[in-house]
Amino acid sequence: MPKIFRDPSFDSTLDVLREGYPFLYNRSQRFNSDIFQIRLMGLPAICLHGAEAAELFYNPKLFIRKGAVPRRVQTTLMGLDAIQTRDNGEHRCRKEMFMALMGPASRQRLMSLLAEQWQRYAHRWEKMDRVVLFREAQEILCRAACAWAEVPLAEEEVSQRARDFGDMVDGFGGVGPRHWRGKQARSRGEKWMRGIIRAIRKGQLPVQKGSPAHMVAWYRDTNGELLDVQMAAIELMNATRPIVAIATYITFAALALHEHPAYRQLLRNPAEDYAELFVQEVRRYFPFTPFVGALVREEFTWHGFEFPKGTLVLLDVYGTNRDEREWQDPEVFWPERFRQRKPSPYDFIPQGGGEFLTGHRCAGEWITIEALKQAVAFLNDGIRYDVPAQDLRYNLTRMPTLPASGFVLTNVQATGKGARAALPMPAAGSEKAAAMAMGCPFHKG
Distance CA 216, CA 5 (A): 45
Left if phi > 0, otherwise alpha if psi is -120 to 50, otherwise beta: which for 63?
beta
C-beta of residue 182 within 8 angstroms of C-beta of residue 174:
yes
Q: Indicate if the pLDDT at residue 442 is higher than 50.
A: no
358 pLDDT tier (thresholds 50, 70, 90): low
Number of C-beta neighbours around residue 254 at 10 A: 25
Residue 337 has pLDDT above 90, yes or no: yes
Q: Where are the alpha helices (DSSP H) in 326-390?
A: 337-340, 365-377
Dihedral sign for Cα atoms in the order 322, 325, 327, 331: positive
The pLDDT of residue 98 is: 76
DSSP designation for 328: S
pLDDT confidence tier of residue 395, bands split at 50, 70 and 90: very high
371 vs 249: CA distance, rounded Å: 10
Question: Where does the pLDDT of residue 425 fall: very low under 50, low under 70, confident under 90, or very high at 90 and above?
Answer: very low
Q: Is the peptide bond before 426 cis (omega within 30 degrees of 0)?
A: no
Q: Which of 77-91, 120-134, 170-184, 185-199 has the lowest mean pLDDT?
A: 77-91
On average, the pLDDT of the chain sits at 88
- The Cα 273–Cα 276 span in angstroms is 6
For residue 294, list its beta bridge partners: 313
pLDDT of residue 372: 98
Query: HSE of 405 in the Cβ direction (CA atoms, 13 Å)?
Result: 16
d(CA 386, CA 382): 14
Is the CA virtual torsion 422, 405, 131, 134 positive or negative? positive
Question: Is 314 exposed, middle or buried, given 0-12, 13-18 or 19+ CB atoms closer than 10 A?
Answer: buried
Residue 430 has pLDDT above 90, yes or no: no
Give residue 235's pLDDT: 92
* In the chain, % of residues over pLDDT 70: 86
β-strands 312-316, 43-48: how paired?
A: parallel
pLDDT at 359 over 90: no
pLDDT tens, position by position, 137-190: 999 999 999 999 999 999 999 999 999 999 999 987 777 888 899 999 999 999
Tell me the mean pLDDT in the region 113-125.
Answer: 98
Closest by Cα among 46, 48, 41, 49 to 10: 41
Phi, psi of 74 (to 5 degrees): -65, -35
Q: Does domain 5-443 have CATH number 3.40.50.1970?
A: no
Residues tagged in the binding site annotation for heme: 362
Q: Which of 161-175, 189-203, 262-276 has the highest mean pLDDT?
A: 189-203
Check if the beta carbon of residue 405 is closer than 8 Å to that of residue 391: yes
Q: How far apart are CA 138 and CA 149, in angstroms?
A: 16
Q: What is the pLDDT of residues 288-301, one digit of tens each?
A: 999 999 999 999 99
- Return all residues near 128 (Cβ < 8 A) that are at least 6 apart: 412
- Which residue ranges make up the annotated binding site? 362
What is the residue extent of each domain of the chain?
5-443
Query: What is the CA 40 to chain-centroid distance, rounded?
Result: 24
Alpha helix (H) residue ranges in 202-316? 212-217, 229-259, 263-267, 274-285
**pTM, full prediction:** 0.89
Predicted pLDDT of residue 361:
67
Over 90: is that where the pLDDT of 30 sits? yes
For the chain, the first-to-last Cα distance in angstroms comes to 52
Residue 437 pLDDT class (50, 70, 90 cuts): very low
DSSP 102: T
Higher-confidence position of 418 and 387: 387
